[in-house]
Amino acid sequence: MPRIVRTKVEFEGEVRERMAVVEEDHITPWGSGTPLRIVGRSYPRTGGVEVVTGKATYTADVQLPGMLYCRIMRSPHPHAEIASIDYVKAESMSGVRAVLCHANAPGIRWFGDSLLFDRILRYEGEEVAAVAADDEEIADGALSLIRVRYRELPFVVEAEEAMKPGAVQIHPGGNIVGGPDGEVYRRGNVREGFAKADLVVEERYETPAAVHNCLEPHCCVAMWAGDELVLWDSTQHVYGIRNEVAATLGLPLNKVRVISEFIGGGFGCKQGVGKHEIIAALLAKMTGRPVKLALSRRAENLAGGVRHPTIQYLKAGVRRDGTLMALQLRSIANIGAYGMGGSEVGGPIRELYRCPNVLTEQIAIHTNLGPATAFRAPGYMEGMYGLESMMDQIARGLGIDPLQFRLLNYAEKDPMRGVSYSSKHLDKAYRTGASIIGWESRPGGQNAGARRRGFGMASQVWGGGGGPPAYAIVRLNADGTADVLTGTQDIGTGTKTVLSQIAAEELGFKVEDVRVTIGDSRAGPYAPVSAGSMTVPSMGPAVRAAARSAREQLLNLAADLLRVLATELSVKEGKIKSTARPREVAVGEITGRIGDFMIIGQGARGPNPSDAKVRTFGAQFAEVEVDVETGDVTVLRVAAVHDFGRVINPLTLGNQVEGGIVQGTGFALMEERIVDSPTGKALNANLEAYKVPTMLDVPSIESHPIDLPDEICNSIGAKGAGEPPIIPTAPAIANAVFDATGIRIRSLPITRDKLLEEIRRNAAF
């Protein structure tokens, strides 16, 4: 029976108590002693054949009869008012079916007081007009016929400039989100902590604006079937899009269907509804034809979301024996004109180490830049770079090994609430990583010569516990196969594969007899956003519960048919076995005999533990080579040891870890959206000048997940693995660069120009 629970759910560092309807009876978690046949083994990815043959249909590949193509005209200015717009010529061009702009669009509220098509344009790349035409070439031609007269306004793109009194105001409420000190967290008294410290260090760190650059851009196809809207959408949240689109357009929830079967990357920027979905839906309504809208690569870089750049003022106080006494952070996040707020940059400072006195102030600032959105481990990745760079600096200052220094300040309990962790194996991660990289035997000190080797390490903490609400259905077919139905989505993480393993395990079926249907809001029940490393720990238990219900129903019916007690029966590899009788019966034999009656199991994710904090942990160790003549940094090796609880599929998990390290390497060494302050325009809004790692930039990666089930966090013992691997890479590399050269770069990315400048100024070279 459904019941309501209150439970704490953590999402990207923010803990919220929420109410959720659950219906799961308590299910005994799979413990370390539970014999499992399928969970924990490597299975190739479900849908792999479609992908490698080019047959997988991503939203970008959807083509419908009569489909129109939409192109968007975007603001060339960082801040301007549309004085006039003339689209008559464009509208009357042959093959153009509709034009939308502020002059004719419905007044849909978008952000605060602004509109979907607003007269005021607040960043370079903001939507000015949209054209739907028979083809993209025609739509592009039509855009060039739209005449817009802009009244340019003063603008501000630097966060610290935007904070000053008298700065250009981007929204009526001012540029500073919340109070002047932003979001404040306090424990103990930092002033007293610093007074008791023997060494106090203050530094300023900067992290860049990193662009997700998912290879599949934000993209959708909108089609009206009568009064119902069908929306193919490249999204991380099928149900969220359904709800937001329905609310924006004033439609009942059952008249919007969102489909997202294959998704070409998300990384955080496809969590919520964007203007493009609404524009496509409006144009499809106006024309009576399906409309496809895919952002160009340039638009993707200007308007598709960005990891907000940060400035971090970090202060740490430590006693001579290495005891951390106080940590203080003031972080400033540049969230652009329409960012919803800053992320949890202070997260690592608050919770990684046992430190009695902590103060974090997280400030978010509006500027005339494109909207900041979540990007894989938002906040924690940026904050960890500052914190772990400083820990390295302090350890060296005290003459303590950086790893030893971290162990000295190890938090056995959650420093924020004083509660126990559901599980924590960070100490083991430190030891294992150190042994893989050869930490103890690494050459000490800086070597001479042009090419210098160095070692560095950094820690990781992140949520990844997931939680309710998350629901699934398992249906058994007459031939003994099973369908798993849920409204989740697979953004490339392997969700589908992992869920089929969990269902097969619980059902006692072969994994090939289980099909998982996701990515369609009409096919399966509600599932949460695929973000915050929460898909596996939320959906896994829901699927397990649904499978268990289906298995119990199956065994009850089998018991009746076989005239035995249900408690004597079990299912293994698709066969029903009885302890009382030697003969095995194939599941299909039982489901075949019940005719077209369909066994349907429902499952819900249960509540989170109330008395334990659920966290993922890990450590990465990097070995780099720095060419002090060219400023080139080559990452040679990364050892990654993370604790995600139980590993469901080592193959796909390894891929996640390696991918996180590759993206982390990009963040450390090359990725940065560059904005020219005098003009307020981005200089590298493309994949040539915005550098993402290639095959030639990849280090040798050794990943050894801890793989111990967390028997408290949920019924499958697994936590999320999407975000943790990206968190410690950049500080581990930065610390290794210091080890190699004695130069500490406090502004990412560590590019040649920054290194060479420091080398030039440093007398030691």
Cβ burial of 582 (10 Å; 0-12, 13-18, 19+) is exposed
- Range 23-42, binding another protein (CB under 8 A): none
- The residue from 137, 512, 552, 629 that contacts another protein (CB under 8 A) is 137
Q: Figure out which of the listed residues 563, 688, 763, 764 binds another protein, where binding follows CB under 8 A.
A: 688
Write out the binding residues for another protein, residues 530-569 only, by CB under 8 A. none
DSSP string, 388-437: HHHHHHHHHHHT--HHHHHHHTB-SS-TTT-PEES---HHHHHHHHHHHH
Minimum CB separation from another protein for residue 661, in Å? 7
Per-residue contact flags (x/-) with another protein for residues 143 to 172, judged by CB under 8 A:
--x---------------------------
Q: How far is the CB of 236 from another protein (least distance, A)?
A: 11
DSSP at 501: H
State the Cα–Cα distance between residues 513 and 507, nearest whole angstrom: 10
Pick the closer one to another protein by CB: 292 or 424: 292
Min CB(658)–another protein separation in Å:
5
267 counts as binding another protein under rule CB under 8 A: yes
Q: What is the spatial distance between Cα 153 and Cα 317, in angstroms, rounded to a whole number?
A: 45
What is the nearest approach in angstroms of another protein to the Cβ of residue 528? 19
Q: Is residue 57 at the binding interface for another protein, with CB under 8 A as the rule?
A: yes
Nearer Cβ to another protein, position 34 or 655? 655
Q: How far is CA 103 from CA 96, 145, 684, in A?
A: 18, 16, 32
CB of 92 to another protein, least distance (A): 4
Q: Does 48 bind another protein (CB under 8 A)?
A: yes
DSSP state of 718: B
Residue 200 burial (10 A CB sphere; 0-12, 13-18, 19+): middle
CB half-sphere exposure, 89, CA atoms < 13 A:
10
Using the rule CB under 8 A, is 656 a contact of another protein? yes
Q: CB-wise, 601 or 699, nearer to another protein?
A: 699
Which residue of 530, 652, 715, 751 would you call a contact of another protein, by CB under 8 A?
652
* Member of 16, 19, 21, 49 binding another protein (CB under 8 A): 49
Question: In the complex with another protein, which residue's Cβ is closer, 120 or 269?
Answer: 269
* Residue 254 lies near another protein (rule: CB under 8 A): no
Among 472, 405, 759, 451, smallest CA distance to 633 is for: 451
Question: Is residue 63 at the binding interface for another protein, with CB under 8 A as the rule?
Answer: yes
CA gap 623, 737 in Å, rounded: 9
Q: Between residue 275 and residue 294, which ones bind another protein under the rule CB under 8 A?
A: 286-288, 294
Site string for another protein, 485-504 (x = CB under 8 A): ------xxxx----------
Binder among 586, 698, 712, 756 for another protein (CB under 8 A): 698
The string of DSSP letters for 373-386 reads ---SSTTHHHHHHH
Query: Using the rule CB under 8 A, which residue among 3, 31, 32, 51 binds another protein?
Result: 51
Nearest approach, Cβ of residue 301 and another protein (Å): 10
In whole angstroms, how large is the CA radius of gyration of the chain?
27
By CB under 8 A, what part of segment 85-114 binds another protein? 88-89, 92-94, 97-98, 104
705 in contact with another protein (CB under 8 A): no
**Distance from C-alpha of 26 to C-alpha of 252, rounded to nearest angstrom:** 35
Determine the interface stretch with another protein among 15-23, 359-367, 425-433, 655-663 (rule: CB under 8 A): 655-663
> Per rule CB under 8 A, is residue 64 in the interface with another protein?
no
Which stretches of 454-510 are DSSP H helices? 495-507
225 lines the binding site for another protein (CB under 8 A) = no
Site size toward another protein (CB under 8 A) is: 71
Coil vs helix vs strand at 92 = coil
Report the Cα 390 to chain-centroid distance in Å.
26
Q: Structure tokens of 243?
A: 């709800």
- Which of 15, 27, 56, 600 touches another protein (CB under 8 A)? 56
For another protein, the binding residues in 196-215 under the rule CB under 8 A are: 212-215
Among 61, 134, 192, 584, binds another protein (CB under 8 A): 61
> Strands (DSSP E) along 595-707, which ranges?
599-604, 612-613, 616-627, 632-643, 675-676, 681-682, 700-703
Classify burial at 50, counting beta carbons within 10 Å of its beta carbon; exposed 0-12, middle 13-18, buried 19 or more: middle
